[in-house]
Amino acid sequence: MKLSGLEALVIREDSNFINVGERTNVTGSRKFLRLIKEEKYEEALSVARDQVEGGAQVLDVNMDEGMIDGKASMIRFLNLIASEPDIAKIPIMIDSSKWDIIEAGLQRIQGKGIVNSISLKEGEAEFIRQASLIKKYGAATIVMAFDEVGQADTYERRIEICERAYNILVEQVKFSKEDIIFDPNIFPVATGMEEHQNNALDFFNATKWIKDNLPGAKVSGGVSNVSFSFRGNNTVREAMHSAFLYHGIQHGMDMGIVNPTMLEVYDDIPKDLLDLVEDVLLNRRDDATERLMEFAESVKGKKESTEKVLEWRNQEVFKRLSHALVKGITDFIEEDVEEARLKFQRPIQVIEGPLMDGMNIVGDLFGSGKMFLPQVVKSARVMKKAVAYLLPFIEAAKDEGSSAQGKILLATVKGDVHDIGKNIVGVVLGCNNYEIIDMGVMVPADKILAKAKEENVDVIGLSGLITPSLDEMIHVAKEMEKANFDIPLLIGGATTSRVHTAVKIEEHYSNDQVIHVLDASRSVTVVERLLGEKKDNYVSEIQTEYERIRSDHKKRQSEKRLISINAARDNKLKLSFNGSISEPSFLGTKVFDDIDLSEIRAYVDWTPFFQTWELAGRYPKILEDSVVGEQAKQLFDDAQKMLDQIITEKWLSAKAIIGIWPANAEGDDINLYENDQSTSIGRFHTLRQQTQKAGGASNLALADFIAPEGQNDYIGGFVVTSGLGIEEHIARFEADHDDYNSILLKALADRLAEALAEYMHEKVRKEIWAYDQNESLENEDLIKEKYKGIRPAPGYPACPDHTEKVKLFELLGAERIGVQLTESLAMYPSASVSGLYFAHPESKYFGLGKIQKDQVEDYAQRKNMSVEEVERWLGSSLAY
């Protein structure tokens, strides 16, 4: 199934469960209902944003309430969502029992959404009419197990209605099989009524029947219905939801509307409670309801005992090793490995036997969503320490190495110094018995290829964070083709995408498959398929998908309405600068040495920290999340302890350099002057949006925020770093086979660098430039960019050209604080941030979008560069 908002969501057979956010539903959220009733739509948007940031992959929007105009509210809310890219990026589920509201929603959503729902309750003719319109609008649909007689309340009725609806949709409406989602009705269990005892079991069995007999169809449902009998008892409800989802997914359930705050981690449900809950869900005992009711009363207000923490030490050694690997415990690993070694003839058998058995459990738990990335990295640390202990014995016995499933070469491409994501992928693949050859950062193509041949690797994986890395990946693909490589090429990193891989990279390497890997959790599945017996089928699927992506991309490009650069300049933003220009307290540059990290700490935005570890959710709410909350808390505690150590023991030093110069705009350029405002010392070149605007909106360029000649104005610049001194500590952790703390330190250094940029910007606004001396903002306000002025960075949406860093670094003398640019213009140390300061109160962040060749030629002339060189640096922004 393929859905989309501004971004595509492809649901395959091996996709994880799709979480549908339910809080933008007036029937399910009292807060959302109140905001809609009071017409506080901007606040209502924050509910939607929280759902997206909390990990929702589809957003359910429902306006069915007697006291509001459902159609008008749906239209207004969806129009507002369309103007918020961070919300509109995910598909919308239009949820209503009224067809006119559904159709109004279909006319306004971007991309391909889902209708929730249609059914046969009004007869076949109306069902066909509605389905035909949904098909016309290009949406998927949920079909309720409901017909002219009523809702299906038995297994037999569920499959009867679903089969009938499926046949009508496929044979008469010609509806795509993949766009059909059945909701076979989740009803409450443990109601005390005998006829309700099979409600959950009938849903599970109907789900399996649908998946086995109705090809392509998906299954969804409203999970919270199942626990209706236990309202007010969250302990039992959370366990019921988690257990229901677990069994539902095992039977083929693809997606569901569920409140993540009402979920317990399945493996963490106490055994006695889990047994009672599953007795009810699976109808295993006649007295299941009474037993669960009795238990529900007994658990109110009680907490689980933790007295037997080390009971696992009483198990036999192989089970102890497995427990240590799953739990990430290194305390006893050497003594346990030694005990295990004495039980085998050859030391390598400890690796091939109990250690790999334990890591297979880790891989299975991670793949099924029962373990999270930080836990997997800790498991890898245990494995590495165990192997390190065994290596001398293996060498002495002259054993052959353990046979790996495959050999993977990983490298961050030339010019790029970012490696956290690559390292995580290496850890996850290593946990699944792949041999990893990690070449580090800034690795040229010739060295990657030479090492790949020398080691006879099975797969090459490239990583990069900055946009020039995309071009370097293309170069590696071309070189692999020239050298007649015939192994898969994996592409990953923050700036990479399936679209870029399909459109820009795949065409240059035809001997095997190029595949974009979204994150570490997908890497194992991808590699397994590429090296497995069914590789040809998988490659064929990918090639078909990438061909569709190229076709869609070409179509979108042709549909985009772009205007000439001259027309865009005619529609520039015209600001008034009278009374809005503040004179800085100093001009020139200033260095800030040894900034106190304890002061910066308060400015850290923790949400991206958790995203680094692939834990979805917004801080601080993520710490209370019922799915990832426990792991998030543990990770956060580890981070705080290390941060304390970083500050106390001065592991890292933080430095900053800022500059403020007189400046004026000249067209799309910004001229900078000496302090006397007469001698030019250089210029920044900015790019202008060329997308045709509607509703009086302007085509923006950063130069619009600077006053033209004839008026005094200023611009600032900065480079900050918190990565100085990190290498020795990374080396220490790596020598101790401790990937977890190595990655943790790098992630914290990155967060401190961003926090330092925030800290210095506040200092500039309130003291140095002092254009907003009375500002009083909390850290949450800073994260939401509620301050006056902006600090855009070269290489980012408003200013995608990394070459602008060169002039900035020259003007500042950034080498004075130990920060340098690589040949691809990445900053080293990697925990560094740079950018420009604009003070005008109406300056704002924006995305450049796509630009045409007329602007590229103009820009090349202004920068005294060749068009080809400009195109190389701006490749991802070109509309041609």
* Catalytic residue ranges: 416, 418, 469
Q: Which residue carries 């140390």 as its tokens?
A: 829
Radius of gyration of the CA atoms of the chain, in A: 29
- Angle between helices 199-213 and 155-167 in degrees, nearest 10: 30
Q: Which residue carries 């009278």 as its tokens?
A: 578
Residue type, 675: N
Most distant CA pair in the chain: distance in Å? 92
Q: How far apart are CA 471 and CA 413, in angstroms?
A: 10
CB atoms near residue 768 (< 10 Å): 17
Q: How far apart are CA 830 and CA 416, in angstroms?
A: 9
Of 419, 522, 474, residue with least CA distance to 730: 419
Q: How far apart are CA 19 and CA 32, in angstroms?
A: 19
Whether 812 contacts 657, CB under 8 Å: yes
Q: What is the DSSP string of 458-517?
A: SEEEEE--STHHHHHHHHHHHHHHHTT--S-EEEESTT--HHHIIIIIGGG--SS-EEE-
Token couple for 64: 């069915």
What torsion, rounded to 10 degrees, do the Cα atoms 797, 799, 801, 806 define?
Answer: -130
Q: Which residue carries 């110069």 as its tokens?
A: 661
Beta strands in 97-178 (DSSP E): 114-118, 140-144
Token couple for 741: 């703390």
Q: Is 252 left (phi over 0), alpha (psi -120 to 50) or beta?
A: left
Query: 270: helix, coil or strand?
Result: coil
CB atoms near residue 523 (< 10 Å): 24
Q: How far apart are CA 321 and CA 336, in angstroms?
A: 7
